[in-house]
Homo-oligomer: A and B are copies of this chain.
């Protein structure tokens, strides 16, 4: 049965694009953090939507599960196959159209995010989705996980940037919803069902995305703040004055800043003196006035006492250096030992309260633990990370991950937040969902899954549990496997 399926696929896709060799499969069986290792019959590399549809139909007829892969940069184990085939979208990498007047770009799922940004830029427009892995993640994966990143404050998540989709359904049918319309109420909203469904309801093969006018000027500043509360007040004041021109408000407390200054080659302290909290602020303007605008606002904030000190980047190089500090936080944290991570969100108005409560609870739970939170403060989205106590044993620390999950997620839940803010559910948070999610919502999700994928062949066991699917957490190999990664 399997041999016949592989032969059928090889005949259509070409033998060179049906990989079965262990070496070829390897990169598709693990994920970035090394938390899971799966297995697959084959990795398919179709070249277009018709080939994806053919492959999915053939697999559906053989009742063989299918896991879609973009850049395989996900952080929740959502792309790890446990049997079945992997369909890599990497060869569907054409930019089909760019229309500046329409402010849209039509791309195939395998386009690397940075190349989508570049194509928009070449047309004089901005595709604002931006995240650390943009050089290797692919837009299909960004859409399948409803990616967030640093530009959500002004431009929204991947969802808000999506106007239309082309999707291969579980039975191999193709839904062509590639429409570039700002207003369309001709029936149920199908596209938002697939965006963020992590490959469990359909496989996105192409999309029409929204572009924005390129700002005429940008300004970047680094703020010293007395506390998370002060950061929230400063954020509120800036947003009230700047409206949609406030395009980033990233939060960095003292400890993560010290970590990155200690370990990042060439890093320079951005602000003299020592502050409990910092924020990286960016203003974008359609006029050439971003610098003077931000300078004026910072002056007001310092005068009113909301901000203790601030520095404005005086060149693109200085701005890039500030962003490099922010973007290196996750990687540099690894130099301090084991790291336990939570990607959570709360209502923006409660983000300071969340930071206080979660910090206190984690420090009480493990003396010496170094709370290392940072992130997209203006979206209420904090990467609430914990660095091991100095001198602790890394594996033993990482074994405490489930205990800290309970502490942090309980607080998030009590504050009407989300335990899966921008990285998705995948495998790692799948079994946390039934604990925190409204049972009616879970029931609706199961009904939708049943309606769109009745045989449970699309990325089985991700987001929702499935019979025979792998254990979610602790991962295969437990703490030992987890300790092998920079996490």
In whole Å, how far is A180's beta carbon from the nearest beta carbon of chain B? 4
Bound CA–CA A422/B440 (angstroms) = 30
For chain A, which range describes its interface: under 10, 10 to 19, 20 to 34, or 35 or more residues?
Answer: 35 or more
Q: Which of A133-165 contact B (CB under 8 A)?
A: 145-146, 148, 152-153, 156-157, 159-160
Within 8 A of B (CB), among A159-186: 159-160, 169, 173-177, 179-186
CB–CB A187/B445 < 8 A:
yes
Q: When the two chains form the complex, which single residue of B187, B433, B450 contacts A186, counting CB atoms closer than 8 Å?
A: B433
Give a binary string over A183-196; 1 marks a CB under 8 Å from any B CB, 0 the rest.
Answer: 11111111011011
For the complex of A and B, the 5 pairs showing the least CB-CB separation, nearest first, are: A243-B286, A192-B192, A102-B349, A451-B451, A184-B418
Contact of A188 with B179 in the complex, beta carbons under 8 Å: no
Set B287, B417, B418, B451: member contacting A185, Cβ < 8 A: B418
The interface-forming segment of A21-29, A233-241, A469-477 is A233-241
User: How many copies of this protein are present in the complex?
Assistant: 2
Nearest B residue to A240 via CB reads B213
Pair B347/A180 contact, Cβ less than 8 Å: yes
Q: Which B-chain residue is minimally distant from A424 (CB atoms)? A: B185
A457 to B101, CA, bound (A): 44
A277 close to B (CB within 8 Å): no
Contact A438–B236 (Cβ < 8 Å): no
9-residue interface stretch from A57-65, A304-312, A329-337, A374-382: A374-382
Contacts of A438 in B (CB 8 A): 175-177
CB-contact partner of A183 in B148, B232, B429, B447, under 8 A: B148
- Residues of B contacting A452 with CB < 8 Å? 444, 447
Q: Which residues of B contact A421 (CB under 8 A)?
A: 181, 183-185
A183 B422 Cβ-Cβ under 8 A: yes
With a CB–CB cut-off of 8 A, which chain B residues contact A206?
none
Which B residues touch A381, using CB under 8 A? 182-183
Q: Return chain B residues, CB-CB under 8 Å to A148.
A: 183, 185
Residue among A179, A181, A438, A440 with most chain B CB within 10 A: A181
Q: Within the complex, what minimum Cβ distance (angstroms) separates A279 from chain B? A: 16
Judge if A43 is at the interface, Cβ distance under 8 Å. Answer: no
Taking a contact as CB atoms under 8 Å apart, the answer to whether B239 and A213 are in contact is: yes
23 A-B pairs with C-beta separation under 8 A: A102-B348, A102-B350, A104-B347, A152-B183, A169-B440, A176-B440, A181-B380, A185-B418, A185-B421, A185-B423, A186-B418, A186-B420, A186-B436, A187-B445, A188-B201, A188-B448, A188-B463, A189-B193, A192-B192, A193-B448, A242-B286, A244-B286, A451-B451
Are B345 and A183 interface neighbours, CB within 8 A?
Answer: yes
Q: How distant is the Cα of A193 from the Cα of B448 in the complex, in angstroms?
A: 10
Q: Which residues on the B side are within 8 Å of A244 (C-beta)? A: 212, 243-244, 286
